[in-house]
Structure 1
């Protein structure tokens, strides 16, 4: 319980760092005294009684609450985000949508599991966890998802060790389904990483057919191999992208291609609150160039009549539909037609922000 309290307090202070620092009248980088001041602001606003320590002797509780009310009228302080990010969000999404979305992205994320249907069923897993006093609930429109009713460490359970589930946000679970895979297909996951979506694709294909998981980071693919073994997913082959030859060998070979593209990660701020402070506008500009390059190159893996999904965990149109539109008007993109896309908003779904577009090769 103490560990959970420390973790949640730390997450909270990181999430609201700008707001708390403004109230405490301290500036980064924070020394020890300043960190105690931030903690005092956090505790006061949470209604938690401060201990009788010298650090908290002159904590001005009324002033803290008054300043909080005053700053809560200004979005960049209320949502505790850098000026540039607030300006970018409003420019791309408009005032109303950005206001709703950034508020939702500051809420604590639920823990959602994806049932590994290669090993068990949703009902069996629910019962297995219930026997361990871990209560879950099903989610309508998310066929393989179970949400924990209370946060707890599920990684120590036999159910996890035996590959009965993976922890995966509900929005992320929509991507593999959007790819429209069938047993026996050849599927290439081009930015597989540690393979959360790759493993989901394997279950949707019922382990029949071939999945080729690519990534530029070999260590991530090693993690994917470990997870695949635990999951009982044996139709996955990993290949590190050490040169363009790896991609060229696959041109026109795949029924389905997933490009789970690198992005700003703005849709997953709830679980990575420190990203607000690490992100820089230059990084977003660079990543947009990378996204287009990846689309241009990896799309050539799709065989005629095959389909491609471009997905990001960003909410910015410039990383999402604008990238798809730019691709479709390019030389290689003209070989594709737009089928459909899906914008997943955190403030509507209650889960991470995501984007996915389905394209068909002529």
Structure 2
């Protein structure tokens, strides 16, 4: 591989924004990819994948490069040189790479790769937490998998098409996909591609949604005509899936504390041809109280640490703080207590997270069932999805029924 100066400069600029300015990697990469209209898909792929890889392995690469934050541009080039050397890329004779100690880099890599927190590039406290909650062997496999690039998975919008027709339509636009066993609505891309420019996307035939995330709406056992509430809807990936499972019949209430996210859902719903969604901002306790005892089904896709989706958000491990984990557990418990009151007798509720930590998952459900509000519910089943076993994001979901 030959390194091109303008692409490498884009990578360095991106790393500066992520490492020194605290910007989110996905947003930075979106900006970078618009930098030069002459770039082809290979150029854009190089910029995105290189930035993501260096962010994923920030701790390992900075340790090998022997640099400390905040990183000036010379330091960022040293980190880049470590990445290139370990990839076996011949460094051009640019001033940034003068005196790069390639043999020393490889030696340090071999040495540091024996220690998990360096090898998998994670803060000490996350490594300790993972071991405490999952055990040494399981955590080692899970965090290694979380450092792999996530595949692109689509969820077919059954309100507009079916899996086979979507596959054929994408094929006609030059995108090859394959079916996934145990995921009835999923198609996996054989090679990465920008699916958002396709006719199929513009016509609302699919959404991009990980295979594990697609399991959640199915788990809620919705039927057309029901009154269903998605109480932490966000931009509505699971809401739209619920709407298709309900065949656009019945009432689907999407709620969130952020109005801006619900506005995005409105745009997506229009493209998806969904018209049974009502959106409500949770700006006080009033919208919740109005729905007490009214919902046939309730989805609580709770806020969480996100430790099951590090493949998609590799910079999250550097933004997370130990206090955040404790605070989020309190929020989860509160959400279960308050929102569960919306379920009517005989109704069902799913509590879900994109975390792999039992303290955010099974333990939260157990704590709820042993509380005053939880005594009206019975545990039906739960599902724990680990990335290293499934190949997809880490997730948890529990189905509870109100007596």
Q: TM-score, normalised by structure 2?
A: 0.89
2:361 is matched with: 320
Tell me how far 1:55 sits from its aligned partner: 1.2
Identify the range of structure 1 (52-61 vs 19-28) with the bigger mean alpha-carbon deviation.
52-61
Q: Equivalent residue for 1:197?
A: 238
The Cα of 1:29 is off from its aligned counterpart by 1.1
1:109 aligns with 2:150: yes
RMSD value, Cα: 0.5
Instruction: Give, in whole Å, the separation in 2 of the partners of 1:88 and 1:209.
Output: 43
Deviations 1:36-60 (A, max 9, x none): 0000000011111111101112111
- Residue 345 of structure 1 is matched in structure 2 by 386
User: Any idea what SS the aligned residue of 1:212 has?
Assistant: strand
Alignment-derived partner of residue 304 in structure 1: 345
TM-score (normalizing by structure 1) = 0.99
Equivalent residue for 2:331, pick from 290, 294, 301:
290
Residue 12 of structure 1 corresponds to which residue in structure 2?
A: 53
Matches within 5 A, 1:214-253: 214-253=255-294
State the alpha-carbon separation in 2 of the partners of residues 9 and 319 from structure 1: 32
- Distance (whole Å) between structure 1 residues aligned to residue 150 and residue 188 of structure 2: 11
Secondary structure (helix, strand or coil) at the match of 2:197 reads coil
Question: Helix, strand or coil for the counterpart of 1:172?
Answer: helix
Deviation at 1:277, TM superposition (A): 0.3
For the residue of structure 2 that corresponds to 1:272, the secondary structure is coil
CA distance in 2, matches of 1:297, 1:311: 16
Give the number of equivalent residue pairs. Answer: 362
Say if 2:303 is the partner of 1:262.
Answer: yes
Q: Distance in 1 between matches of 2:207 and 2:171?
A: 17
2:87 corresponds to which of 33, 40, 46:
46
Return the match for 2:123 from 59, 82, 93: 82
Q: Is 2:187 the partner of 1:146? A: yes
CA deviation digits over 1:187-229, x for unaligned, max 9?
0000000000000000111111110000000010011011001
What is the alpha-carbon distance in structure 2 between the residues aligned to residue 51 and residue 335 of structure 1?
Answer: 68
Report whether the alignment pairs 1:186 with 2:227.
Answer: yes
Q: Please, which runs of 5 or more residues in structure 1 have no aligned partner?
A: none
Runs in 1 of length 4+ with deviation above 4 angstroms? none
- SS of 1:266's equivalent in the other structure is coil
Write the distance in 2 (CA, Å) between the matches of 1:301 and 1:179: 15
- TM-superposition CA deviations, 1:307-347 (whole Å, max 9, x none): 00000000001100000000000001000000000000000
What stretches of structure 2 of length at least 5 have no aligned partner?
1-41
